[in-house]
Structure 1
Amino acid sequence: MELRHLRYFLAVAEQRSFTRAAEKVGIGQPPLSMQIKALEEEVGGALFLRSSQGVELSEVGRVLLPHAQRAVDQAEQALRAARQAASGETGLLRMGFTSSAVFHPLVSHALQQFRERHRKLEISLSEGITEQLLADIAASQLDAAFVRIVTTPSAALGVVELPAEKLKVALPRSHPLARRKSLRLQDLASENFIMVPRGKGSALYDSIFSACQAAGFDPQVIQLAPQLTSAINLVASGLGISIVPEAIEQVQLAQVRYVEIVEPAPRAQLSLAYHRQSIAASRFAAHLQRSLRRAG
């Protein structure tokens, strides 16, 4: 028994006419009659009682009718669900992010808009370091992640780069340099640095070290913090200073002041890495690219 046989049967039962049913399903009457006959042979009994006034369901047909209707309805529901999944409208998007990515205004805005436009799509969020997030995407344990590294796109991995962020100096508000409107990196040569360990964010760590070395000194790292927000809390306690992405300035503490770095200021790169075979991730990547074009 094929699904089309049930659809033809339902059409004849509704129209009570082979002619009108054939018009409804878009085939000729002779082929429709042959399909119904084939269904009757498979069932083992007549489905319709024919008369000069049309056709009516037989006892066998009345028994088949509700089952046929449920089968057709379920098939249509399955098709709609599959089409929504194929278009990325439903399913699950497993999204990872580094600790500082959530503070980037474009990230939060893009995620919020995407949620509003894809309410049937479930989005799960998990935090991690860049290296682990990329490994999870490669292992198909994540669909996409915001990471602080410039990764070369490949057949399996797609990348959408966000505009590079300026880095700023976070200082205790009581620090003499906190009164300045801007600072040169050279001004920080004798300062005690608080940084996130390289293993927690190698791209940002290397960017800061390289910029300081280009300015003629190696940062004196006296304290490591598990993440950037923790570094800001340590700055507030007066342990030292830190260089952080501009977005971290959203972490406002009374004891901390953020100061611009004189150009050429170092930059921090944030990118969306995503698995190209993930429909939901590819759809989000396209959404993010449109958001970036509008932000211009």
Structure 2
Amino acid sequence: MELRHLRYFVAVADERHFGRAATLLHVTQSTLSAQVQALEREVGGRLFTRTSRRVELTEAGELLLPEARRALAQAGRAMQVARQSVRGETGAVRIGFSGVAVLQGDLSDDLRDFHRTHPGVGLTLTELPPAAQIQGVRDGALDIGYCPDLGLSDADGLRVTRRALTPLSVALRSDHALASAAAVTTADLTAHDLIVFASGEEDETVLSRLWPAHEEDRSRVRLVGSTLGVLALASAGAGVAVVPAATQCIALPGLTYRPLNGAPPGPDLLVISRHDETSGAVRAYLDAVPAP
């Protein structure tokens, strides 16, 4: 049974006339009659009784009509859902992010702009370390990641969009010796313990930018896997924390921020995804991400 057979059957049932139904369907009357007869053969009995002036439904036709209407409506709904998915109007986008993406405003801006134009798409957010985001996108657990640059490129099998450089600042206890300075230099850090965010034990993305200042004494560097952990240690006086400048919007008791002069910017913020993405919603989201 084909959908067009049901469509032709319903048209004849509504019009009670083959000629008018054929005109409505933009087919010839002989074509319409042939299709209805094909449906009757498949059913195994007559669906209409025909006279020279009018067509009436048989008992089988009366029973088939509401089912045919439901089948056509469901088929139309299925097509609509599929088309909406292809256009990115429905579905879901699973996003992993690092805290800096929120603090800098990039993630919030992208989410706001996308939700405004695609309100029917669900957005799921999970805060994850960069390495977990990369793995999540690769194995399909995530669709998109917002993470600091860990040396990724398109050659690694991921689509990589660079969003912004991350200026660096220092966070330190308000009574720290460097807190009275208008700004802190990398040379100032040489004599102090450093606290640096790291996504894992092997991550020296931020530290590598300050390496010359501490290459002789790595024991004075503490790598911490949480932004709040970095700030908590700094506010406790355990050292000077090197943080993205956007972190200054986080206020903790006893904590002071100062600009860091003489250091290159921190890692780029990357938006990562799969090259072969098939989800319409995910593709629509990526198309909406501003170019660098």
Q: Establish whether TM, by shorter chain, passes 0.5.
A: yes
Aligned to 2:244: 245
Ranges in structure 2 where 5+ consecutive residues have no aligned partner: none
Aligned to 2:23: 23
How much has 1:159 moved relative to structure 2? 1.2
How much has 1:64 moved relative to structure 2? 0.5
How much has 1:253 moved relative to structure 2? 1.9
Aligned to 2:205: 206
- Cα distance, 1:119–1:198 mapped onto 2, change above 3 Å: closer
* Alpha-carbon distance in structure 2 between the residues aligned to 1:219 and 1:178: 23
Structure 1 stretch 93-102 or stretch 213-222: which is displaced more?
Answer: 213-222
SS in structure 2 at match of 1:269 = strand
Corresponding residue pairs, total: 289
- Cα distance, 1:61–1:37 mapped onto 2, change above 3 Å: same
How much has 1:231 moved relative to structure 2? 0.6
Any conservation in 2 of the 1:129–1:200 contact (CA below 8 Å)? no
Aligned to 2:167: 166
**CA deviation string 1:115-151 (max 9, x = no partner):** 3433332222223222222122222222121121242
**CA deviation string 1:16-61 (max 9, x = no partner):** 2222222322322221111011111111222222233332322221
SS in structure 1 at match of 2:62 = helix
How much has 1:217 moved relative to structure 2? 6.9
- Residue type of the partner of 2:183? S
How much has 1:198 moved relative to structure 2? 5.7
Aligned to 1:157: 158
- Residue identity over aligned pairs, in percent, reads 32
- Cα distance, 1:66–1:220 mapped onto 2, change above 3 Å: same
* Alpha-carbon distance in structure 1 between the residues aligned to 2:19 and 2:157: 53
TM-score (norm 1): 0.87
Structure 1 stretch 239-248 or stretch 146-155: which is displaced more?
Answer: 146-155
Ranges in structure 1 where 5+ consecutive residues have no aligned partner: none
* Alpha-carbon distance in structure 1 between the residues aligned to 2:67 and 2:199: 63
- Cα distance, 1:67–1:81 mapped onto 2, change above 3 Å: same
* Alpha-carbon distance in structure 2 between the residues aligned to 1:156 and 1:206: 21
* Alpha-carbon distance in structure 2 between the residues aligned to 1:217 and 1:21: 90
Structure 1 stretch 3-12 or stretch 225-234: which is displaced more?
Answer: 225-234
- Cα distance, 1:218–1:10 mapped onto 2, change above 3 Å: farther
- Residue type of the partner of 1:253? L
SS in structure 1 at match of 2:205 = helix
SS in structure 2 at match of 1:125 = strand
SS in structure 2 at match of 1:176 = coil
* Alpha-carbon distance in structure 2 between the residues aligned to 1:15 and 1:45: 21
- Residue type of the partner of 1:87? R
SS in structure 1 at match of 2:65 = helix
TM-score (norm 2): 0.88
How much has 1:109 moved relative to structure 2? 1.6
Aligned to 1:51: 51
- Cα distance, 1:217–1:27 mapped onto 2, change above 3 Å: farther
Aligned to 2:13: 13
- Cα distance, 1:83–1:284 mapped onto 2, change above 3 Å: same
- Cα distance, 1:180–1:21 mapped onto 2, change above 3 Å: farther
* Alpha-carbon distance in structure 2 between the residues aligned to 1:253 and 1:214: 27
* Alpha-carbon distance in structure 1 between the residues aligned to 2:159 and 2:73: 38
- Residue type of the partner of 2:233? L
How much has 1:220 moved relative to structure 2? 5.6
SS in structure 2 at match of 1:12 = helix
* Alpha-carbon distance in structure 2 between the residues aligned to 1:157 and 1:54: 65
- Residue type of the partner of 1:101? A
Any conservation in 2 of the 1:160–1:285 contact (CA below 8 Å)? no
**CA deviation string 1:202-258 (max 9, x = no partner):** 2xx333333341798766635443311211121111211111112222212242222
- Residue type of the partner of 2:192? E
Structure 1 stretch 1-10 or stretch 11-20: which is displaced more?
Answer: 11-20
| Cα root mean square deviation, aligned | 2.5
Any conservation in 1 of the 2:198–2:205 contact (CA below 8 Å)? no
**CA deviation string 1:157-187 (max 9, x = no partner):** 2111111111111121222322333222112
How much has 1:72 moved relative to structure 2? 0.7
